[in-house]
Amino acid sequence: MAEKQLSGLRVAAILTDGVEQVELLEPKKALENAGAKVTVISPKAGQLQGFKHHDKADRIPVDMELSKANPADFDAVLLPGGVINADALRMEKKAQDFVRVIDEAGKPIAVICHGSWLLVSADLMDGRTITSWPTLQDDIRNAGAQWEDKQVLRDDNWVSSRKPDDIPAFNREMISLFSQGVDQSRRVA
């Protein structure tokens, strides 16, 4: 893996209160170490409450309000999990629209744990293959996707993972997928 293989890549990390902190911070760190710029985007300004499972963790600063975020300004999306985060975020029409535009453009999406609820609510599951926290499998199947219990899974422009224990594999596949996006954008330019 090249030191800064994601140099210039703009990643939108979309989340809200209740995010599983490690599912944001570890992938964010891996992306930044590879040269990407990660922008934390939320429906609310200020700071978000991170969680470690069911317990409050650190406050996480928001870089941009969702109402001001334009999908055209980003090359990829990171959707961390956390039950509270994912359940609230899936109801945000602007978040649904954002991931829909990213997906329709063929840009990469990395999703872990409960984060896939947003993709379900955005009506993007039909014909896809994805993994997630196991309790989401019925929602995913009912939305038209195939669910598999795997540490990490790639399907076209998506990479998905189940839980915090899977983060090392998730990060490797996410960086690999996102670097293909960089390669494609450089060929177009």
Is 113 one of the catalytic residues? yes
Which one-letter DSSP state was computed for residue 57?
E
- Integer angstrom CA distances of residue 150 from 8, 27, 85, 128, 143: 31, 18, 22, 15, 19
Q: Which of 28, 90, 107, 114 is catalytic?
A: 114
Query: What is the token pair recorded at 7?
Result: 């140099």
Q: Which of 113, 124, 159, 177 is catalytic?
A: 113
Residue located via tokens 């996102």: 178
Is 54 one of the catalytic residues? no
Strand, helix or coil at 115? helix
The residue among 187, 143, 173 whose CA lies nearest residue 78 is 173
Cα(2)–Cα(6) distance, rounded to whole angstroms? 9
Cite the active site residues: 113-114
